[in-house]
């Protein structure tokens, strides 16, 4: 399975692609950070990110897109930009029928390092080791995107699979029930319990 990890951000958006191998091994395919100038208007910045993300989907043809789940912080302007980019990448993937999975920062940290409270340096060091890289991916947004992809390969890869190729279609995917819910396992269980109770 090929996974595109996204560390969403309006100023810096990390993108990392990995392939899953046997025995929980993974291999890096590509990594980059797309930047937008803070002086530009938000619509231009989102348009630029959309073009870059579309290009990554065209070139790498992932089976699933894994995105870091947005969480509340005190800095409203930062969280707004992150949420906008998260929604943009989710929508662009959905238009192609590519399942989307979301993982919280603590899930990613725990999956990669064993601790949900690990710092960025610890995550970067483990990503470098897991992927067998000669040097750490820089900046941190690049390592974070790869960490999100690795987390999905170890935690949720079987829950959102699709067939690679150019014929991914949103309507067909909905009919086949293959879209990612974007919910955690606990949230999915709660939603199932509510449906069953009706």
**Rounded Cα gap, residues 59 and 29, in angstroms:** 11
Q: Which of 7, 63, 107, 144 is catalytic?
A: 7
Active site residue 68: yes
Pair 31, 145: CB distance under 8 Å: yes
From the list 89, 12, 102, 7, the residue with the least C-alpha distance to 55 is: 89
Active site residue 172: no
**Rounded Cα gap, residues 130 and 51, in angstroms:** 30
Find out whether 7 is annotated in a ligand binding site: yes
Q: Which of 63, 68, 107, 144 is catalytic?
A: 68
| SS3 category, 13 | strand
From the list 19, 13, 53, the residue with the least C-alpha distance to 139 is: 13
Find out whether 68 is annotated in a ligand binding site: yes
In 21-178, where do the E strands start and end?
26-35, 64-68, 100-103
Distance of CA 22 to the CA centre of its chain: 21
**Distances from the Cα of 178 to the Cα of 20, 58, 158, angstroms:** 19, 20, 11
- Residue numbering of the annotated binding site for Mg(2+): 7, 68, 141
**Residues noted as catalytic:** 7, 68, 141
């Amino acid at each position: 399975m090929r996974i595109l990890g996204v560390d969403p951000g309006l100023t810096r958006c990390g993108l990392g692609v990995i392939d899953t191998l046997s025995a929980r091994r993974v291999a890096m395919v590509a990594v980059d950070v797309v930047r937008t100038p803070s002086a530009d208007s938000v619509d231009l910045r989102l348009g630029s990110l959309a073009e870059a993300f579309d290009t990554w989907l065209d070139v790498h043809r992932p089976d699933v897109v894994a995105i870091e789940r947005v969480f509340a912080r005190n800095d409203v302007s930062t969280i707004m930009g992150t949420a906008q980019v998260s929604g943009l990448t989710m929508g662009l993937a959905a238009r192609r029928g590519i399942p989307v999975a979301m993982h919280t920062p603590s899930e990613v940290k725990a999956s990669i390092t064993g601790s949900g409270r690990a710092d960025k340096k610890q995550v970067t060091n483990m990503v470098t080791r897991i992927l067998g890289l000669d040097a750490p991916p820089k900046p941190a947004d690049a390592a974070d995107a790869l960490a999100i992809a690795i987390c999905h390969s170890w935690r949720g890869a079987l829950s959102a699979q699709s067939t690679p190729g150019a014929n991914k279609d949103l309507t067909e995917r909905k009919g086949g029930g293959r879209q990612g819910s974007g919910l955690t396992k606990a949230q999915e269980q709660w939603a199932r319990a509510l449906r069953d109770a009706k």
